[in-house]
Structure 1
Amino acid sequence: MAKVTIIGAGIVGLATAFSLTRRAHQVRLIDPSPASGATHYAGGMLAPVAEVQYRQEKLFPLMKDAARYWPELIAHLAEHTALPLGFDDSGTLVVAADHADGQHLEELALYQHAFAMPAERITTRQARTEEPALSPRLTGAVSIPGDFQIYPRVCAEALLDACRTLGVCHIAEAVTHLKAAERVTAIHTTESVYEVDEDEQVVLAAGLGAGEITGWDNPLQLRPVYGDILRVRVPAALQPLCTKVVRAFVEDRPVYIIPRAVDQTIAIGASTREDHLREPKVGAVYDLLRDAIRILPGLEECELIEAATGARPGSPDDLPYLGRARARNLIVSTGYFRHGILLSSWAARRTTELIEGLAPEDLQHCDPYRHERSHTL
């Protein structure tokens, strides 16, 4: 049994704490406000197929493994909390708004098939049979039954509850500094200093905040990538407006529509921008509403209850930072960018393996020091 301190309680830190505690490790979790950062604003799609992007082939195996790990994580979570889990395995539809979007969808499906990803072309009539509220003007559709979703806010609450049930010690303080040389010997917060035992491991899973923690040879090149996301409430007369995740291309703009059965809301997202505006951008909100309504016209009758913006931690190559630091008892786990929810199951498993003395082979592209200045000269 190892002693482990995890810095950061977003979905990655929580999943890691839960996975470690289940395996009888003693875990301390430090975060002033769990799941209040990128996790709070995430869409929550577990979509290794629909989320593929060109020229990101190194991510694909990680995404596939993460998707396989999620059902097991959910099953274990159900054993340790009575709270709702927010998991929905209804599948995903990807649709096209016009003929150019239909060509985009066709090319994407060919790319997915080249990497053995299951994406089935279906007719728009079949799509509307599955989701009758879809617009009759769609020009193409793909079904991806293995792409699921979770409601991140709900799942994070369940993970935190399960961690507490299993005995995780939560310290509601913000970490500012690590006393580290050959190993981390102390953790400084805004209020206290916590000693780190000789045999204790430390996991730095603080998202964007990891880049601001001083005292160690911090090589991380994290950048905030902002995303606007909306929530609407579906009137009783229209429930359920849709039951599957619907992703769409509208004049080459991506939009997704995520039904939340637990509270009869729908999330609409998400923009991707690096303009450093910390509140929802008017143009982005307009685009999201216009495009979502074009795909699912009934959204016009819903109540807009939230427009929010979250910042995701991006790295220069959009791959995560996961691996051991030079301080021998420190593991870095951040930089998950658009895939933080999906990859949290993979991050939890790989971090557990590192703590238990294993050497996961798929961390070769995730070295926390790969963007250090000396590596690029």
Structure 2
Amino acid sequence: MSDVTVVGGGIVGLSVAWRLVQRGADVTVLDGGDDGAWHVAAGMLAPGGESEHEDPALIRLLERSAQLWPAYAKELGVDVGYDDAGTLSLAMTADDLAQRARVWKRQELALLRPSELRDLEPALSPRVRAGVFDPRETQVDPRKVVSALREKLGPRVVPKRVEALSDVDSATVVVAAGCGTAALTGLPIRPVKGQVLRLRGEPGLLRHVLNASVDGREVYIVPRADGEVVVGATQEERTDRLVTAGGVHELLRAALDLVPGLAELELTETTVGHRPGTPDNAPLLGRLDDRVVVAAGHFRNGVLLAPVTADIVAGLVLDGADDPMSADFSPRRF
């Protein structure tokens, strides 16, 4: 019997397992084999929240995890695409600016003129009306992170689909199965569909992550050092895995309006993922009962919250200690 079984082989489950192993636990990860939200995610590490209505407790958790990411990336021992060049948050029109200005004010970020923005990113459209630079927002490549964690955990990761927690022969079970957590625990986690595009060209077109409102359409553009550019993401309350013409058109139109030079890049991949959302879109972190611990429901923040989730769950499992920062995110709140 393993001391701890982690159900779920995505970025959250693997991060939890790695932290437990580092602290001396005997851990098995049961990986159902499905690519989770991490496989589609662009890897933006944006702790400030994207809405003026963001819950303060969640923002504190996001900020704490963002502070952990530089050391966590180094700890993995290989290049996982961690990049601290920062993010430009942009507004294309006056209406876009009105929508974003309240968030920027809360974040206490200085408004930049179009000429200042193009000094930072010459490839931006001259139509960009205003924006801000946030050096706190970084990025990482989730696919590289998952690959590194799987390498570290080695044979502890076992390909097995879990249909019921009663089938898991372990004294402690950590459920980190993303949207699959709902069926295993009965907790209210819903899949929120997101379509994402990957482009490829010569490196250097963009340096910063771009997060923009373009004529009312939300889009992010994440450049990688190797020339890959990730464009996303739609947000749809749907469960299907269809890449739709409308979704691709919406993303490409917004991205090309923002950065016309992207038109010359090769479209290499179109993917669909499902973010695990809860009724309040905040994560589920903590004990469900004496045997089961939940680490799921991270919605849009699974990649960002992986390090802090790992620390919180390891402390709970091995020390019996509830981290004060997780108090607002108990799975029992539902």
TM-score scaled by structure 1? 0.84
Alignment partner, residue 228 of structure 2: 265
Offset at 1:56? 2.9
Offset at 1:123? 2.2
Q: Distance in 1 between matches of 2:17 and 2:255?
A: 36
SS in 2 for 1:212: helix
Please tell me whether the aligned partners of residues 320 and 335 of structure 1 are also in contact (alpha carbons under 8 angstroms). yes
The structure with the larger Rg is 1
Please tell me whether the aligned partners of residues 321 and 336 of structure 1 are also in contact (alpha carbons under 8 angstroms). yes
**Paired letter, 1:98:** T
Residues 1:24 and 2:10 aligned together: no
Alignment partner, residue 303 of structure 1: 266
SS in 1 for 2:321: coil
**Paired letter, 2:172:** Q
Q: Distance in 2 between matches of 1:14 and 1:86?
A: 18
1:82-161 aligned within 5 A: 83-113=78-108, 119-161=109-151
Change in Cα spacing, 1:53 to 1:12, as seen in structure 2 (3 Å) is farther
**Paired letter, 1:204:** V
Change in Cα spacing, 1:50 to 1:332, as seen in structure 2 (3 Å) is closer
1:94-243 aligned within 5 A: 94-113=89-108, 119-164=109-154, 169-179=156-166, 186-187=167-168, 195-196=169-170, 200-213=171-184, 218-234=185-201, 236=202, 239-243=203-207
Which range moved further: 348-357 or 98-107?
A: 98-107
SS in 2 for 1:278: coil
SS in 1 for 2:57: helix
Please tell me whether the aligned partners of residues 81 and 141 of structure 2 are also in contact (alpha carbons under 8 angstroms). yes
Please tell me whether the aligned partners of residues 50 and 144 of structure 1 are also in contact (alpha carbons under 8 angstroms). no
SS in 2 for 1:279: coil
SS in 2 for 1:300: helix
Alignment partner, residue 62 of structure 1: 61
Residues 1:3 and 2:3 aligned together: yes
Offset at 1:105? 2.7
Alignment partner, residue 182 of structure 1: none
Offset at 1:37? 1.2
Q: Distance in 1 between matches of 2:102 and 2:288?
A: 40
SS in 2 for 1:87: coil
Q: Distance in 2 between matches of 1:38 and 1:53?
A: 25
Q: Distance in 2 between matches of 1:16 and 1:95?
A: 35
Offset at 1:137? 1.8
Please tell me whether the aligned partners of residues 87 and 134 of structure 2 are also in contact (alpha carbons under 8 angstroms). yes
Q: Distance in 2 between matches of 1:241 and 1:250?
A: 19
1:248 to 203, 208, 212: 212
1:62-81 aligned within 5 A: 62-78=61-77
TM-score scaled by structure 2? 0.95
1:347 to 309, 317, 334: 309
Q: Distance in 2 between matches of 1:319 and 1:105?
A: 22
Q: Distance in 2 between matches of 1:39 and 1:53?
A: 25
Please tell me whether the aligned partners of residues 31 and 174 of structure 1 are also in contact (alpha carbons under 8 angstroms). yes
Offset at 1:102? 2.1
Q: Distance in 2 between matches of 1:72 and 1:55?
A: 26
SS in 2 for 1:174: coil
Offset at 1:51? 3.2
Please tell me whether the aligned partners of residues 150 and 157 of structure 2 are also in contact (alpha carbons under 8 angstroms). no
**Paired letter, 2:215:** E
Structure 1 gaps, min length 5: 114-118, 180-185, 188-194, 372-377
Alignment partner, residue 288 of structure 1: 251
Offset at 1:281? 2.4
- What is the number of equivalent residue pairs in this alignment? 332
Q: Distance in 1 between matches of 2:299 and 2:281?
A: 7
The one-character-per-residue Cα deviations of 1:150-185 (angstroms, maximum 9, x if unpaired) are 111111111211222xxx612111011122xxxxxx
Offset at 1:89? 1.2
Q: Distance in 2 between matches of 1:108 and 1:363?
A: 25
Q: Distance in 1 between matches of 2:41 and 2:229?
A: 13
Please tell me whether the aligned partners of residues 198 and 228 of structure 2 are also in contact (alpha carbons under 8 angstroms). yes
The one-character-per-residue Cα deviations of 1:209-253 (angstroms, maximum 9, x if unpaired) are 11122xxxx34011110001000111x3xx311011011111222
Q: Distance in 2 between matches of 1:369 and 1:106?
A: 36
Alignment partner, residue 13 of structure 1: 13
Structure 2 gaps, min length 5: none
Q: Distance in 2 between matches of 1:53 and 1:149?
A: 22
